[in-house]
């Protein structure tokens, strides 16, 4: 029988690149609302046809420039 772990679940989020300035504003509001869940990582989908290439690169650059919001969750975990 498997034992249930008492650890905090780890989550990640995948976002689609915004197609407009309004969608971009919504994306960043969503990212801000979800940050308290402390995702292990976030990713931005890269459109197969390349139509969202610039917005994808922009979103990744902006997300990468934000300092990570992490704290130790396990005993002995010193965190970053």
Active site residues: 14
Of 65, 50, 55, the C-alpha closest to 25 is: 55
How many residues does this entry show for the chain? 80
Instruction: For residue 12, list its beta bridge partners.
Output: 41
- Work out the number of other CB atoms within 10 angstroms of the CB of residue 22: 9
* Contact call for residues 12 and 39 (beta carbons, < 8 A): yes
């Amino acid at each position: 029988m498997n034992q249930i772990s008492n650890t905090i679940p780890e989550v990640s989020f995948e976002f689609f690149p915004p197609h407009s300035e309004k969608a971009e504003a919504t994306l960043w509001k969503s990212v801000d609302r979800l940050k308290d869940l402390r995702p292990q990582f976030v990713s931005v989908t890269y459109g197969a046809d390349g139509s969202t290439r610039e917005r994808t690169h922009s979103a990744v650059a902006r997300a990468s420039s934000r300092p990570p919001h992490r704290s130790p969750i396990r005993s002995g975990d010193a965190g970053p």
